[in-house]
Structure 1
Amino acid sequence: MKNILVAEDDIKQCENLKKMLYMIDAEFNIHEAQDKDQALKISNNVHIDLFFIDISLKNSSGLELALDLRKISRYEFSWMVFLTTHVEYLTQAFKQAHCYDYIVKPYDKDEIISMIKKFSAHAKNNSVQEKERKSVFLDLKSGVSMKFYIDEIIFIESSMRTCIVNTIRDSYTLKKVSLKNILKLINCNYIIQSYKSFLVNINYIKFIEKIDSRLSELYFEKSSKKALLGYKFKNSVLEKLKGK
């Protein structure tokens, strides 16, 4: 955990918090923002590991900032800590923005040290787990590749040398690539072909609905989209499902 964003419109309070954070680790990269727009700009340019957000910001509330950050896929589950002088206003923040904790002003050094240690321990555990997870890099466009965790892929659909990768977070378009090549790159026993134009993750299959004697539809957990199951692939898919 290295990049921290402090969204605080009180310059003095911001400096106090920064001093305490640097006392914990002088190598922290601490970014400052006084309003929502500035905070979002920084967050889009730099991957932030931990957010400290004042519940009251210039021209907006900290809650509005937090909700906008949650709409960005990489910050959907990021650590957010609210800064406030009024604890009674935090109920909405916890319910809507799913913040992890809060700090009451003026800041207490021991409380912040304890909190940072807790987050650092979680970050270390998550880093180890991510290294152990199987992933693949796929080209979104010329010169741009994206890392996909294979256990987050729900299904992949192919059409005219374009593939749509549907994950638990979003859908991504890959140009000039075939399902056959993607299947080789993934090389995973729970991602299998279900139709000439579909690869599916059997772990997300919720149920199968028959359309006719040769074709069925696959419904998934964590997605409202459907994939096709052809008669040539039906037995292999069912065998995989039985072996789960």
Structure 2
Amino acid sequence: MSKILLVEDNPDAVKRIIRYINKIFAELDVVSFPEAGEALQYAKANDVSLFILDIQLEDYKGTSLAKQLRELPEYKYTPIIFETALAGEELSAYRDVKCYSFLVKPFDEEEFAAAFRDALGLSKQMNQQAKTIQIEQKQFILEYAAQDIAYIEAFGKKLVIHTISRLSGIKEDTISGYTLSGLLALLDDPAFVQCHKSYVVNKSHIEKIDKSGRKICLKGFTDTIPIGNKYQAELWG
């Protein structure tokens, strides 16, 4: 579930904004703080998809909070929406912090919804593009970009991760201590589905599906992936 961090010290404004968000996507997890310091600590301990920051806060400015967030690698490009009654802060926010959008109080529901939908859409796109997983192997940690994984193959108690990078001459990795279901949970991405008891495939790399032959052809790969009877629904319903 995506987390939205709202930093606003006006209780009525908090209630109104949460109401607006719930009308757009009720399943989103909205967390609010009245102070920048508390919000910063929360952001460091949690994965936030989008920030909504009031510029005038109880302890220090929302623009200062945004600068602190931008110094954290995980939030270097995370969308930030500023809200304030001081329209003169707009140019400074855009120049110094690279905020995504700017709402001048009082703003109505339509204005908020337009900015919020755009920013949330960008956040989802960025997360999908940048998502990586880390796999521990003895004294090493292997990191993969989810988009680079074409399919995963099980051999007994070992797994082989086949990546698009392999097409450029980089050898695939054999890992131990993980199951296909465990890697699926780690990936947590609807693009990855189990198509056979021994295979997980990234649907975004499928070139074609041979239903009669029960096999999958992947872009750039000569090997085909089998489809198990119990897994057909995952591919074509």
TM-score category of the 2 structures, normalised to the smaller one: 0.5 to 0.7
The letter of the residue matching 1:111 is E
SS at match of 1:117: helix
Partner of 1:5: 5
Partner of 1:62: 62
The 1:138–1:62 alpha-carbon spacing in structure 2 relative to 1, beyond 3 Å, is: same
Matches within 5 A, 1:139-158: 139=136, 147-149=143-145
CA distance in 2, matches of 1:92, 1:16: 26
Partner of 1:27: 27
Partner of 1:86: 86
Matches within 5 A, 1:114-125: 114-125=114-125
The 1:22–1:93 alpha-carbon spacing in structure 2 relative to 1, beyond 3 Å, is: same
The letter of the residue matching 1:52 is I
Partner of 1:73: 73
Contact 1:17–1:107 (CA<8 Å) still a contact in 2? no
CA distance in 2, matches of 1:32, 1:190: 48
**Runs (5+) with no aligned partner, structure 1:** 152-183, 193-244
SS at match of 1:58: coil
Contact 1:22–1:28 (CA<8 Å) still a contact in 2? yes
Partner of 1:102: 102
Task: Return the offset for 1:79.
Answer: 0.2
Q: CA offsets, 1:46-92, max 9 Å, x none?
A: 11111000111111100110000001100000000101011112221
The 1:139–1:81 alpha-carbon spacing in structure 2 relative to 1, beyond 3 Å, is: same
Q: Check if 1:137 corresponds to 2:134.
A: yes
Task: Return the offset for 1:105.
Answer: 1.4
Partner of 1:16: 16
CA distance in 1, matches of 2:72, 2:138: 21
The 1:44–1:66 alpha-carbon spacing in structure 2 relative to 1, beyond 3 Å, is: same
CA distance in 2, matches of 1:127, 1:76: 12
The letter of the residue matching 1:43 is A
CA distance in 2, matches of 1:47, 1:91: 28
Structural RMSD (CA): 3.3
* TM-score normalised by structure 2 residue count: 0.56
CA distance in 2, matches of 1:141, 1:8: 45
More strand by share: 1
Contact 1:136–1:185 (CA<8 Å) still a contact in 2? no
CA distance in 2, matches of 1:150, 1:122: 18
The letter of the residue matching 1:137 is Q
Contact 2:49–2:120 (CA<8 Å) still a contact in 1? no
Give the % identical residues.
23
The 1:4–1:185 alpha-carbon spacing in structure 2 relative to 1, beyond 3 Å, is: same
Task: Return the offset for 1:6.
Answer: 0.5
SS at match of 2:31: strand
CA distance in 2, matches of 1:64, 1:44: 16
Contact 1:81–1:101 (CA<8 Å) still a contact in 2? yes
Q: Check if 1:48 corresponds to 2:45.
A: no
The 1:69–1:127 alpha-carbon spacing in structure 2 relative to 1, beyond 3 Å, is: closer
Number of equivalent positions? 157
Contact 2:79–2:122 (CA<8 Å) still a contact in 1? no
CA distance in 1, matches of 2:162, 2:89: 49
Q: CA offsets, 1:183-210, max 9 Å, x none?
A: x998653879xxxxxxxxxxxxxxxxxx
* TM-score normalised by structure 1 residue count: 0.55
